[in-house]
Each structure stands twice: as structure tokens, then as C-alpha cells.
């Protein structure tokens, strides 16, 4: 009963004290078209992306943007013909100018993706753009996406505007795990806190980040975060730490087309960075496991165990905690257009995330390191701890 009471207290606090993280009404901030449309360079790191490029690249090249814009796709050692396919798609689709380039193998101390981003940004800076759009190869942008991002950034004076792309939810496992992934992310980094000037909370969604070029220079992006596993959060933290004004919200017309049909695919996605989020700290791992158990697992256990044992207090407290938990998950399910009854499965999904986090730690201590698209690399624990600090 006391554990159920602690869980209910935690949920009541989360409901009102964690930046209303469960609300999904935060879209692009108010925007108006500028008198002068700034120039933009789009940087797309790509490694073995031939499967998704036919869906994602043509809409990016077809952006309806009034100013000068061009795309740099960095083919980072692909073995599936990513670069040649990108050139072929650009020839057929037309639209924004496309440059396909390759950075070579990353030097020691660089993650694969950030080395590719650095190469693309170096080429882009030769064009002296006012903004950089960093977007992943699996992201499909609506025709007015770039226009809307730039209008929001210029109207609000933001140095970084990022949208959490709507991830694919087609398979059974995607329906179970993906909405919860965004829900947990928003719980860790409440979007309303991110936009506060002077606040400590900083995060971005790496699939769609519009960044002022001068803000990137001040924050030394990407060199300052070259070790980062969670590169989007590290990027936002560096920009905000350099005095930048940042914003993150949910996307309406920016979608990820990458499929995660099996549980194993989603497991790898989460486990890749889960322990890095905990600064590779065993004490934080133990605390996280205990916290997940008390907050997410205890309510249904207390409800059913209380009913079975005739403990009305435990059943009532557990049921109320589960009710609040379920209510906070409903907006995310609506955003993803999923059946609302899936909210009842959140404790089971949280248990999966608990196991993924433990597995992330196990893989770390087995010395397998982090990875990006099949490329593994060593990473100093000291740098990891610094760059994962909230």
C-alpha cells in the first residue's frame, strides 16, 4: 500500500509539475513570412539509406521555398548505392540543387553521424547560408516544411527550431513502443521548458533541426559535440549554453519513413543510447530501474494484488495511480492516431523500456561501444558523462 501511495504521489506531481509534458498541443510557434527570405543549406547525413531515399528525398528537393536553398547529402561509406541513387532521384525529380559528397572514414574521437554532418556543414558554409537545416535521410518533409520552419525561426528570434518527426506506427510493435518513446522523451525534456530563456532544459530532435549558421559557429557545432551518442540533445545543449534561444515541438507534416517492423529493431534503437542518457553511471541505472518499477509497474500490481488479498487501500491507490498514468498517455495516442485502449498497456511498455535500458548497460560493459549504421566506435567515458549531463 505504501508503494502504491508513493506511485500515486509521483503521478500527481508528474501531472502538474513536469512542464505538462503529456500535452501534445505544442506545434510550430507563431510565424509570419519575412520580408527577406534567408538562404538555407540542408545537410543530410546518409549511410546505407537506399531503402528510404525514394520516399524521403524527392519531397525534400521539392520544397516550396522562396529564398535560396540547396541540399548536401553526405554519403557516409554506404554499401548499398545510396549516393548514386540520390543523384538519380535528383535528376528525375528536379527541384533544389543537390550535391552528393563523401567524407571518408571518421578520425578517432568522432561518431560516424557527426563526422558526416561536419563534412556537410563545411561545404555548406562556403555558400554563406543564414540557416542550416540538419535532417536525417529517413525524414519526409511536406512541401512547405522548410518555409514554415524559417518563418517560425525568424518571427520568434530562435537560433534553433526543431520538430519531433512523427515516427512510423504500422506494425504491432511500432504501435506499442513508438508513441511511448516520444512520451518518455517529453517526460525527460518537457517541451515547454526547452523554450525558456535561461532555463537548463535543452533538447532537439535530430531528424529536423533548423539552426542559424552564426549560432552554430558560436556553439562550435559540431566539433564541440563530436563524441556525443545522443547528438541531438548535445547539439541543443551546446546552442543554448552559448546563449541561443531554442524551441522543440511535435511535427504535423514531417514524418519518419523508417520502418521498425520487429521488436529487435526498436530494441536496438532504444538500447543504443539509453545508458549514455544515464551518463554510464551504475547508480543512476539502479535508480532508474527502481523509479520505473515504482512509477509504472507498481500501480497495476497494487491494484490486482490488493483485490486478490482483500486490501482495499492498496487496490484503490494502485487503481488511481494507473488511472492518472493512463490519462496522461491518451493525448500521445491521439496524436499518433492509435486506439485509446493502448493506454492500458503503458506499464507493459515501460517494462520493455526497463529491459532495454538494462541491456544498454550490459552492452556497454561488454565493451561493444556505441554504433551508427553498423559502424562501432570507442568513446571516452569522461566525454560521455559530460555530454549527457542534463
The per-residue pLDDT for range 99-141, each reduced to its tens digit, is 999 998 888 888 768 999 999 999 999 999 999 999 999 999 9
Query: What grid cell was written down for 206?
Result: 535530430
Predicted pLDDT at 383? 40
Element spanning 184, H or E: helix 172-188
Q: Return per-residue pLDDT of the chain as tens, 390 residues.
A: 999 999 999 999 999 999 999 999 999 988 889 999 999 999 999 999 999 999 999 999 999 999 999 999 999 989 999 999 999 999 998 999 999 999 988 888 887 689 999 999 999 999 999 999 999 999 999 999 999 999 999 999 999 999 999 999 999 999 999 999 999 999 999 999 999 998 999 999 989 999 999 999 999 999 999 988 899 999 999 999 999 999 999 999 999 999 999 999 999 999 988 998 998 999 999 999 999 999 999 999 999 999 999 999 999 999 999 999 999 999 999 999 999 999 999 999 999 999 999 999 999 888 765 666 666 655 444 344 334 343
Predicted pLDDT at 46? 96
Element spanning 265, H or E: helix 263-277
Q: Measured between alpha carbons, how far is 66 from 374 in angstroms, rounded to an integer?
A: 38
Neighbouring CB atoms inside 10 A of 368's CB total 10
Query: Cis peptide before 222, with omega less than 30 degrees from 0?
Result: yes
Predicted pLDDT at 108? 82
Residue 261: half-sphere exposure toward Cβ, Cα within 13 Å: 0
- Residue partners of 187: CB distance under 8 A and separation at least 6: 14, 18, 21, 22
> Cα 171 to chain center, whole Å?
20
In degrees rounded to 5, what are phi and psi of residue 373? 50, 50
- Residue partners of 264: CB distance under 8 A and separation at least 6: none
Residue located via cell numbers 514531417: 254
Element spanning 328, H or E: helix 312-335
Predicted pLDDT at 59? 97
Nearest in space to 19 (alpha carbons), one of 243, 219, 233, 196:
196
Q: Could you report how far apart the first and last alpha carbons of the chain are, in Å?
A: 33
Predicted pLDDT at 193? 97
Predicted pLDDT at 367? 75
Query: What grid cell was written down for 374?
Result: 553498423
Predicted pLDDT at 386? 38
Neighbouring CB atoms inside 10 A of 313's CB total 13
What is the per-residue DSSP string for 7-43?
A: HHHHHHHHHHHSTTTT-----SPP----SSPPPEEEE
Amino acid at each position: 500500500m505504501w508503494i502504491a501511495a508513493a506511485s500515486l504521489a509521483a503521478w500527481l506531481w508528474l501531472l502538474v509539475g513536469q512542464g505538462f509534458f503529456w500535452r501534445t498541443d505544442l506545434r510550430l510557434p507563431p510565424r509570419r513570412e519575412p520580408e527577406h527570405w534567408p538562404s538555407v543549406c540542408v545537410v543530410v547525413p546518409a549511410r546505407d539509406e537506399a531503402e528510404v531515399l525514394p520516399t524521403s528525398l524527392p519531397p525534400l528537393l521539392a520544397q516550396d521555398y522562396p529564398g535560396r536553398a540547396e541540399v548536401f547529402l553526405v554519403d557516409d561509406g554506404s554499401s548499398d548505392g545510396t549516393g548514386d541513387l540520390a543523384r538519380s532521384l535528383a535528376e528525375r525529380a528536379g527541384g533544389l540543387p543537390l550535391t552528393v559528397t563523401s567524407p571518408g572514414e571518421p578520425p578517432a574521437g568522432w561518431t560516424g553521424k557527426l563526422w558526416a554532418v561536419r563534412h556537410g556543414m563545411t561545404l555548406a558554409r562556403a555558400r554563406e547560408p543564414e540557416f542550416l537545416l540538419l535532417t536525417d535521410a529517413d525524414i519526409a518533409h511536406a512541401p512547405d516544411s522548410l518555409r514554415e520552419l524559417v518563418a517560425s525561426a525568424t518571427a520568434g528570434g530562435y537560433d534553433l527550431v526543431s520538430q519531433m518527426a512523427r515516427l512510423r506506427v504500422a506494425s504491432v510493435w511500432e504501435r506499442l513502443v513508438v508513441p511511448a518513446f516520444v512520451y518518455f522523451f517529453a517526460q525527460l525534456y518537457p517541451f515547454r521548458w526547452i523554450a525558456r530563456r535561461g532555463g537548463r532544459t535543452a533538447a532537439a530532435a535530430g531528424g529536423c533541426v533548423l539552426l542559424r549558421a552564426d549560432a552554430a559557429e558560436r556553439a562550435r557545432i559540431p566539433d564541440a559535440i563530436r563524441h556525443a551518442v545522443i547528438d541531438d540533445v548535445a547539439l541543443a545543449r551546446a546552442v543554448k549554453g552559448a546563449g541561443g534561444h531554442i524551441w522543440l515541438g511535435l511535427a504535423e507534416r514531417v514524418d519518419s519513413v523508417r520502418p521498425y517492423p520487429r521488436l529487435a529493431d526498436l530494441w536496438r534503437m532504444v538500447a543504443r543510447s539509453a545508458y549514455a542518457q544515464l551518463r554510464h553511471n551504475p547508480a543512476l541505472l539502479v535508480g532508474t530501474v527502481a523509479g520505473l518499477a515504482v512509477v509504472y509497474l507498481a500501480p497495476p500490481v497494487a491494484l490486482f494484488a490488493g483485490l486478490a488479498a482483500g486490501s482495499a487501500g492498496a487496490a484503490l491507490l494502485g487503481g488511481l495511480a494507473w488511472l492518472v498514468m493512463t490519462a496522461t498517455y491518451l493525448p500521445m495516442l491521439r496524436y499518433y492516431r492509435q486506439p485509446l485502449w493502448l493506454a492500458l498497456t503503458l506499464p507493459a511498455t515501460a517494462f520493455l523500456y526497463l529491459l532495454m535500458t538494462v541491456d544498454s548497460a550490459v552492452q556497454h560493459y561488454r565493451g561493444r561501444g556505441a554504433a551508427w549504421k553498423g559502424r562501432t566506435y570507442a568513446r571516452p567515458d569522461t566525454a560521455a558523462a559530460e555530454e549527457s549531463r542534463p
